[in-house]
Structures are given as structure tokens and as C-alpha cells.
């Protein structure tokens, strides 16, 4: 029997930032996702190519629209509808709420939110971190947040973990779930400037960022409670996470180092073998010999892990592309599962290597 080939109408909300541009790149090469609308209040009426010249006429003369222009598109929707929200945290929830209200049950809708708005199970937990009311508390119970590698569940909607969170979870979850380390973890992560978003900031200004390296929000980063909550839920162990993020002098990628104290006598090879077994059915996660390098994963949806060990201390390294595995690619991977497709569909392209 031939596999069905019908395309799925796909909408991107908040579609003018870096994550959205990366989403468009993966949607354009996906055999089953077809972009039918991209909303942006600031770019409504402009073509996608005018905002993202690297897309090179991929979507022809397709233009951004406002959210108010969506009803015509939604009225035509009868089959499954794939929705990605790439809006900033604090704004995404309201956009998702408005879209779901507009659909009004006429289509089978799945949402993958790439902001922080649906990563917490309660409004109180969200508000404690972000300091503002949640924009759609009634929808929180319909969303689940985890990496697809760490759960077999297929929820209706997903709040994809953040980019730093992704790199941390890939290391912390197996270390704790397998009982390799004590639940007291120390982590240092270095991220590229695209992690700060498209709007210029002092910390992303090229003269400051180029040839520079500096920590920010040390031991107080907003992803820590997110990682702690998700890790406890999927591993059964609540860690104490001591995380220091850094701004790196490159555009894309995250290099993460997580250290912990071993609970048993294990050497490097034994720990690497445990991680390989843990991720044996996860096609995008690979354990490498030596230490992983950013250029081996940037531009792809792959994550590389490496292990070092001395005495009772273990360090596990993870490298990902913050825009891909940490956001757009991980979001497409989740959408594939929600729609019943193979998780690898449209995502197996290797990175360019020498960028």
C-alpha cells in the first residue's frame, strides 16, 4: 500500500524572527507540510523573501498577513492543520488562543509553541519565572512540554523546551534517570547570538560580541526552573541545577557542559555505553568519541554528546544548533509525531560543516 501524500496546511504565528526563518527553511523541504499562512503584525503585506532573503524565492511571492486576515484561511481548513508559534514569550499564548477560537472545531489542529508560554503546567509556575500573567491559562492542560526523545506520549499540543533547556535536558535526563549521578548538577553553556532574537540588543551588537566571551544571568537563568520541572517529570528525579550561561562570539549553536558526582564506579566507556543505549532509538542524538564540536551539528537537527570522567566526577558535553534542534527543527520533529509521521521526516539533512 502506498503511503498517503496529501499535504498538511501549515501556519506560522509570529513569523518574522530568526526561529520563524529557520522554520520556513525546514517546512520548505518537508514532503508533507505546506505553508498556507505566516502572521506578523510588523511585516504584514511584505513578502517572506523580503524579510528572509536567504529563502531565495522558496515561497514565491507569498506574503505575511495579520492574525485578523487568517479567518479566510481557517474557513477552508477541513483536514489536519499544523500550527507553529514562533512569537516571543508573553505574546504567543494570546495568539494561539485566538487562532484556536477561530478554528472553532472545524479542523483537527495541532500546535507546537516555540515560546516559553506553554512549557509550564500551571499559570503560577509560569508567572513566577516571567513576572506577568499567562495569556491563555485555560489552554495549559492541553499542552505538554518535553523533548520527543524523552517521552513516548503524543499530546494534542506541545510547548517545545527552550534552546538551552534542550541542550541541558539531553544530558541531565539520562544521567539522572539511569542513576549515574547524584542529583546535584553543575552546567556551563555557551550560545550563539541568534539565541537573543532578531531585535538588536547590547549583548548581540557585533563589536561587543565578536572575539568576546562573557557570562550572563549566572545561577539565575530562566531556563533552570523549566529544566528542573521537565527533568523531574520525565526522569522521576528532581535535580539541583547550577547553571551559568555564556554569550559566544558566533551566530548559531550551543555547547553545553554538565558535571555531576558519580553514584557508582563507572569509567568513561561505561557511561558512554549507557548513553548510547538510552538514545538507541533516538535518530537525532549521537554519542561521539572525544568531545563534540559545534560545526558538526550547526545547521542540522542532530545533537552530539561526549563524555569525560575522572575519579568520581563525570562531565557530559552536548552540542546542538540553537535555532534547529533547540527550536524550529525540534518543533518540526514534534509536529511529525503529532501528525503520525516518522519523526525524521524532512529533518535528516546534514549541517554544512564549514560555516
Please report, for the domain that includes residue 107, its CATH number: 3.40.50.720
Length of the chain, please? 355
Q: Give the pLDDT of residue 258.
A: 98
Position 202 confidence tier, pLDDT thresholds 50, 70, 90: confident
Evaluate whether 53 touches 139 at the Cβ level (below 8 Å). Answer: no
Which of 194, 317, 316 lies closest to 253, judged by CA?
Answer: 194
Give CA–CA dist 33/139, Å, rounded.
25
Question: What is the DSSP code (8-state) at residue 59?
Answer: T
Task: Kindly tell me if the per-residue pLDDT of 3 is higher than 70.
Answer: no
| Same domain flag for 175 and 300 | yes
Q: Give the pLDDT of residue 79.
A: 77
Residue 352 resides in a domain? no
Instruction: Give the structural domain span for 202.
Output: 163-321
| Same domain flag for 233 and 173 | yes
| Same domain flag for 122 and 184 | no
| Same domain flag for 73 and 203 | no
| Same domain flag for 280 and 178 | yes
42-91 pLDDT, tens digit per residue, is 999 999 999 999 998 899 999 999 998 887 777 776 678 999 999 999 99
| Same domain flag for 74 and 175 | no
15-29 pLDDT, tens digit per residue, is 999 999 999 999 999
304-351 pLDDT, tens digit per residue, is 999 999 999 999 999 999 999 999 999 999 999 999 999 999 999 999
131-171 pLDDT, tens digit per residue, is 999 999 999 999 999 999 999 999 999 999 999 999 999 99
Position 2 confidence tier, pLDDT thresholds 50, 70, 90: very low
Position 1 confidence tier, pLDDT thresholds 50, 70, 90: very low
Cell numbers for 157 = 499540543
| Same domain flag for 171 and 79 | no
Mean pLDDT computed over every residue of the chain:
94
Residue 347 resides in a domain? no
Task: Kindly tell me if the per-residue pLDDT of 221 is higher than 50.
Answer: yes
Residue 349 resides in a domain? no
Give CA–CA dist 179/30, Å, rounded.
38
Question: What is the DSSP code (8-state) at residue 327?
Answer: I
Question: What is the DSSP code (8-state) at residue 73?
Answer: H
Residue that the C-alpha cell 550547526 belongs to: 298
Cell numbers for 149 = 526523545
Mean pLDDT of 251-261: 97
| Same domain flag for 200 and 126 | no
**Which member of 163, 258, 272, 338 is catalytic?**
163
Domain count, the chain: 2
Helix (H) or strand (E) holding 260: strand 254-261
Position 279 confidence tier, pLDDT thresholds 50, 70, 90: very high
Evaluate whether 255 touches 262 at the Cβ level (below 8 Å). Answer: no
Beta bridge partners of 262: 181
Mean pLDDT of 95-113: 87
| Same domain flag for 193 and 315 | yes
Give CA–CA dist 218/242, Å, rounded.
9
Give CA–CA dist 135/129, Å, rounded.
14
Evaluate whether 42 touches 115 at the Cβ level (below 8 Å). Answer: no
Evaluate whether 161 touches 147 at the Cβ level (below 8 Å). Answer: yes
| Same domain flag for 126 and 168 | no
| Same domain flag for 216 and 100 | no
Question: What is the DSSP code (8-state) at residue 230?
Answer: H
Task: Kindly tell me if the per-residue pLDDT of 92 is higher than 50.
Answer: yes
Q: What angle do CA 80, 29, 118 make, to 5 degrees?
A: 50
Evaluate whether 259 touches 175 at the Cβ level (below 8 Å). Answer: no
**65 included as an active-site residue:** no
Mean pLDDT of 1-5: 52
Position 4 confidence tier, pLDDT thresholds 50, 70, 90: low
Q: Give the pLDDT of residue 228.
A: 98
176-186 pLDDT, tens digit per residue, is 999 999 999 99
Q: Give percent of the chain above pLDDT 70.
A: 97
Residue 61 resides in a domain? yes
Cell numbers for 80 = 489536519
Residue 270 resides in a domain? yes
Higher-scoring residue by pLDDT: 74, 250: 250
Which of 306, 116, 325 lies closest to 222, judged by CA?
Answer: 116
pTM of the model: 0.96
| Same domain flag for 135 and 170 | no
CATH value at residue 299: 3.30.360.10
Q: Give the pLDDT of residue 355.
A: 81
Give burial (CB, 10 Å; 0-12/13-18/19+) of 27. Answer: buried
Amino acid at each position: 500500500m502506498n503511503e498517503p501524500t496529501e499535504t498538511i496546511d501549515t501556519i506560522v504565528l509570529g513569523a518574522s524572527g530568526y526561529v520563524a526563518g529557520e522554520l520556513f527553511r525546514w517546512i520548505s523541504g518537508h514532503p508533507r507540510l505546506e505553508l498556507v499562512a505566516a502572521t506578523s503584525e510588523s511585516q504584514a503585506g511584505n513578502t517572506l523573501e523580503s524579510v528572509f532573503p536567504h529563502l531565495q524565492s522558496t515561497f514565491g511571492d507569498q506574503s505575511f498577513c495579520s492574525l485578523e486576515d487568517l479567518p479566510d484561511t481557517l474557513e477552508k481548513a477541513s483536514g489536519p492543520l499544523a500550527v507553529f508559534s514562533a512569537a516571543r514569550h508573553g505574546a504567543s499564548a494570546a495568539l494561539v488562543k485566538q487562532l484556536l477560537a477561530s478554528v472553532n472545531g472545524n479542523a483537527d489542529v495541532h500546535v507546537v509553541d516555540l515560546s516559553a508560554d506553554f512549557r509550564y503546567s500551571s499559570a503560577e509556575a509560569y508567572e513566577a519565572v516571567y513576572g506577568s500573567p499567562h495569556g491563555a491559562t485555560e489552554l495549559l492542560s492541553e499542552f505538554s512540554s518535553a523533548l520527543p526523545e524523552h517521552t513516548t506520549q503524543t499530546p494534542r499540543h506541545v510547548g517545545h523546551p527552550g534552546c538551552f533547556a534542550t541542550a541541558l535536558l539531553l544530558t541531565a535526563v539520562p544521567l539522572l534517570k539511569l542513576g549515574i549521578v547524584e542529583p546535584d548538577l553543575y552546567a556551563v553553556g555557551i550560545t550563539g547570538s541568534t539565541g537573543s532574537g532578531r531585535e538588536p540588543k547590547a549583548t548581540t551588537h557585533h563589536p561587543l560580541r565578536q572575539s568576546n566571551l562573557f557570562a550572563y544571568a549566572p545561577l539565575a537563568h530562566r531556563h533552570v526552573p523549566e529544566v528542573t520541572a521537565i527533568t523531574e517529570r520525565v526522569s522521576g528525579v528532581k535535580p539541583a541545577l547550577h547553571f551559568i550561561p555564556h554569550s559566544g562570539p558566533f551566530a548559531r549553536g550551543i555547547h553545553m557542559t554538565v558535571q555531576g558526582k558519580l553514584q557508582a564506579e563507572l569509567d568513561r566507556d561505561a557511561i558512554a555505553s549507557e548513553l548510547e543505549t538510552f538514545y538507541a532509538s533516538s535518530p537525532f542524538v549521537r554519542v561521539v568519541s572525544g568531545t563534540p564540536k559545534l560545526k558538526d551539528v550547526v545547521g542540522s537537527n542532530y545533537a552530539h554528546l561526549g563524555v569525560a570522567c575522572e575519579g568520581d566526577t563525570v562531565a557530559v558535553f552536548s552540542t546542538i544548533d540553537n535555532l534547529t534542534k533547540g527550536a524550529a527543527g525540534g518543533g518540526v520533529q514534534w509536529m511529525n509525531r503529532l501528525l503520525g509521521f516518522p519523526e525524521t521526516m524532512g529533518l535528516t539533512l546534514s549541517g554544512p560543516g564549514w560555516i
